[in-house]
Amino acid sequence: MAGAEEERLLTTGEFARRGLLSPKALRLYDRQGLLPPDRIDPDSGYRYYRPERLATARLIVRLRGLDMPLATVAEVLALPGPAAAERIAAYWAAVERRTASQRTLADHLRVQLSGLEGIDGMYRIEQRDVPEQLVLTEQRRAKPHELDGFIGGATARLTALAEAHGGVAAAPFVVYHGQVDEDNDGPVEVCVPIDPARAPGLTAAHRTEPAHREAYTTLTKAQVDYPQILSAYDAVCAWMERNGTPRAGAGREVYFADWAAAEPGDLVCDVAFPIAG
């Protein structure tokens, strides 16, 4: 019986050829525990594989064709079929999000290095009137790497406070009272509007945002990533300068969509500046 089983085993070279991978890759997958041999000859050290393992070898090759890291490949191999399919889908969704972000970053770098050439074609600048708003507010100094945590956390806290006053009345927004980059930290203010008629007894930090006109451009989720979002600020500022429109307040980001549910290409945010007039 042992002899018959041994006859069915494939040598490393034959298994690699039929599995569509190189002997070098096969050795790597062996070291990583992804595709260990079924038998190692104790005298010669030769490695042998059962033909049934070819399906796994070919799957690994195709997963690596997606540039999937070996650790993620191991996760897929350890899962049953439906769960493995879901893990592949989740991996590829993350790749698409990263690619969309990298694409907008490349656009940002191209515009910056060309002296803002072509920025007018990247962003559509519009104007609107914004009414006076009563806003719950939370403010702190923050560097770029701290923004996501602060904005997300403060928005959640203020949204919870708003529930006691009828809920959020309009899109939350973030005001940058100073420049935020590798050398500057704002300060940054998160604002959640509430209905003034539902605000008696309000004790949380709040203020009134004056009515104003603003120039703005709308961004996709991928365009909101730092530093590419800076191109949107540049575009609005360039529009104001070309049109002789004085700035009347600090720049801000207005978040009007469900961030967690949004895809990279979905519109989620306005970059805006209050303007005179």
**Residue appearing with tokens 């575009």:** 235
- Prediction pTM value: 0.73
The answer on 164 and 250 residing in a single domain is yes
Does residue 91 fall inside a structural domain? no
Query: Any idea what the CATH number is for the domain that residue 270 is in?
Result: 3.20.80.10
Residue 255 is predicted with a pLDDT of 98
Helices (H), 190-249: 229-242
Does residue 138 fall inside a structural domain? yes
| Domain end among 78, 104, 139 | 78
CB neighbours of residue 182 within 10 Å: 9
Domain hosting 169: range is 120-275
Picking from 85, 70, 80, the residue whose alpha carbon sits closest to that of residue 33 is 70
Query: Any idea what the CATH number is for the domain that residue 9 is in?
Result: 1.10.1660.10
The answer on 59 and 136 residing in a single domain is no
Domain count within the chain: 2
The answer on 246 and 173 residing in a single domain is yes
CB 132 within 8 A of CB 170: no
Phi, psi for 67 (deg, rounded to 5): 60, 30
Residue 2 is predicted with a pLDDT of 47
**pLDDT in tens for each of the 277 residues of the chain?**
344 455 689 999 999 999 999 989 999 999 999 999 999 999 898 999 999 999 999 999 999 999 999 999 999 999 999 999 999 999 999 898 888 888 888 887 888 788 877 777 789 999 999 999 999 999 999 999 999 999 999 999 999 999 999 999 999 999 999 999 889 999 999 999 999 999 998 999 999 999 999 999 999 999 998 888 999 999 999 999 999 999 999 999 999 999 999 998 999 999 999 999 7
